[in-house]
Amino acid sequence: MPIVETQNLSKIYGAGEVAVTALDHVSISVEAGEFVAIMGPSGCGKSTLLHLLGGLDSVSDGSVLIDGQNLAGMKDDDLTRLRRRKIGFIFQFFNLIPVLTAQENVALPITLDGVKPAEARARAAEWLTRLDMAERMHHRPDQLSGGQQQRVAIARALVADPDLILADEPTGNLDTRAGDEIAETLRQVSQQWGRAVVMVTHDPRIAAYADRIIFLKDGKVNDQTILAPRRNGDAATAAAPLQAPA
């Protein structure tokens, strides 16, 4: 079963004469553990699609299913819980909290979800270590490079052990080298840790890290390219990621 799927998804901003059709009957599906890039010119609806996949905005028509569940039918509380536990977000400008250390930033979402502070800190430390940030754990964002800040953001997105990571232009604010490192890390998130990653980018170099590219144009799916055939035993590799510490 796909981890996320859209069926004839449309999004119209505004109404009447000022209505903008940002998405126009988009049907896509992403399997567990898959790394998918969404590409297309500026304004073609990439961010809108990502927001709808993550339940951050309401659909105008069609549906979004996460793990088979239609987001439209869900109560607000359930939607919030699903977003916190099944989905991790990564943004272009990192969106870290400046007064918190790397570890505190990473621990925050699960602390808000009721995990005890000591355990939240331990889980945060574990993910930061996996992402090569063990030595920078107690640094604040302004003491970190852009690439390091994005690593912290990736750790934060993973700390609740979600099945799906949504990344909007995660390398858009980084130089080529740091961008490559972040793209390689996202590939690792998919290949080694079995999480599905949907990444919006307009950079061909970065999109080439993905297993599949979906091209959007004027709010529609224009083309798809498979870069890496799906790995065998998907279910097995997806089920074998590192367990969150008990």
Partner 1 sequence: MSVRNAFLGLLAQKPRHGYELRAAFEAIAGGGVNWDVKPAQVYATLDRLAEAGLVVCTSDLGEGDEPGRRVYALTEAGLAALRQWFDEGVEPEHQRDEFYIKLMVALASGAGDPHRILRTQRGLIYQRLHGLTTQRNALDARVALAQVLLLDKAIMHLEADLRWLEFVEARLGDIQRQPLPAPQVRARGRPKKGS
Ligand X SMILES: Nc1ncnc2c1ncn2[C@@H]1O[C@H](COP(=O)(O)OP(=O)(O)O)[C@@H](O)[C@H]1O
Residues that bind ligand X (CB under 6 A): 13-14, 20, 22, 40, 42-48
Residue 182 φ/ψ, nearest 5 degrees: -70, -40
Instruction: Give residues with Cβ within 8 angstroms of 47, minimum separation 6.
Output: 168, 200
Cβ proximity to partner 1, 148 vs 185, nearer residue: 185
The site partner of 44 among partner 1, ligand X, Mg ion, none (C-beta below 5 to 8 Å per kind) is: ligand X
The site partner of 117 among ligand X, Mg ion, partner 1, none (C-beta below 5 to 8 Å per kind) is: none
Task: Count other Cβ atoms within 10 Å, centred on residue 195.
Answer: 25
Instruction: Report d(CA 131, CA 150) in Å as an integer.
Output: 10
H or E element that contains 125: helix 117-130
- In the complex, minimum distance from the CB of residue 97 to Mg ion, in angstroms, rounded to a whole number: 23
The site partner of 45 among ligand X, partner 1, Mg ion, none (C-beta below 5 to 8 Å per kind) is: ligand X
Cβ proximity to partner 1, 175 vs 184, nearer residue: 184
Cβ proximity to Mg ion, 51 vs 140, nearer residue: 51
Instruction: Report d(CA 156, CA 102) in Å as an integer.
Output: 9
Identify residues 30-59 at the interface with Mg ion (CB under 5 A). Answer: 47
**Which whole-number Å values give the CA distances from 126 to 160, 242, 245, in the listed order?**
12, 11, 9
Binding residues (CB under 5 A) for Mg ion: these are 47
Binding site for partner 1 (CB under 8 A): 180, 184, 204-205, 207-210, 213, 223, 225, 227-228
